[in-house]
Chains A and B, each alone.
Chain A
Amino acid sequence: MVKVKYKSEGKILMTEGKLSFEQSTEKVNEVPLLELRNIHKFYGKIHALKGVDFKIYEGEIVGLIGDNGAGKSTLVKIISGVINKDKGEIYYKGKKVDIKSVEDARKLGIETAFQEMTLIDSLDVGLNIFLGRELTKPSLPFILDYKNMYIKSGEILNKLGLRIAENPRREVRFLSGGEKQGIVVARAMLFKSKLVILDEPTRNLSVAGVKMVLDFIRNLKKEGIACIFISHTLHHVYDVADRIVLLSRGEKVLDVPKYKYTLEELENMIIQATYLSKSYT
């Protein structure tokens, strides 16, 4: 169990004539699990990230939102080691680290499900789930353990309620968009670590699929796993997030704990932050 200190401060709400006290979930006096300071990234002449600060605590769910091209994907790709930052520092549990590759990120326990379907169409479901981390036989560490991989894939897909669980040998290109997204999420579930990054996990999913992903994120929190949840729509994020972070044109323009605001208030703030260059950090 992860022990979390909460600020004993909250907000008194008046609903239907009853007073209620909403407990704050803002954490204080704690070292963030991951902290990024002043991150810059250039793509040629385009300044994709302009000095972004970002932090996430253990077991916290951060909803990262923003328009296309706001820099969300760039930010998470830097965290997961796919691309390298041009400037800035990354701290893991207060210690300065250098994430240069996907391997580095995985060693820190960072698992990412990318927005681009990171699947190989010509390979089967089982191999895709274990892509880059294939299981090998315990006695012969050079030989792949297909049987075990298929069993484990079947189990995890079953948990997600996906029909493809029956046939983990099926080639991925014959699957529907939702099933493909399911595989990406299944991968994050299987290799759950300290921090799971889900880049648009609800895209292409049915209503039931979205619910499943949101439940999954809640389960992560229960197990003390932090999660960065990226989405276009505030609504999906609002359901589960502890904190909302908004990027706009490569800058962080909003970073607020969710409990303080209603959905409507947040929507207004997002519009103001995005289009009127107001800052709420």
Chain B
Amino acid sequence: MTVRQTLMSVLFIASLTQGCAFVRGTYGEDVQQGDVTTIKKGVSTRTEVASVLGAPDRIVEANGHEIHHYYQFDVKSGFILFFSRTNIQSKDVFVIFDKAGIVEELLVGKKKPPLEFQFWPFEWPSHSSPS
């Protein structure tokens, strides 16, 4: 194959493809781990929580408890040639108040691993679902 033929082949293959793109987006405010550590169970009030985390995104009332829900969505999308993959991760924090308006429980849990940019659409799920 001559240089010219090779070049033409490369150009032809390149014309079939769609380039690449990497896109990042978020919805909502990120709750920092440091912010959460200032909230003390049995001590912090609604006002103190609001001054640290801001207004909740959602409030649920259950059995006399008030549950303040803070959430954020993180989106990373990768697109190379013919393949595209978009990963979305939600990060949630729940602050549960007792009837007196004092923090009773804090649902933060383990910090999720950072979301990855990926483009290959075929390998997930890594775990098999039950039959």
Is the pairing of A and B real?
no
Chain B residues close to A by CB (< 8 Å): none
Chain A residues close to B by CB (< 8 Å): none
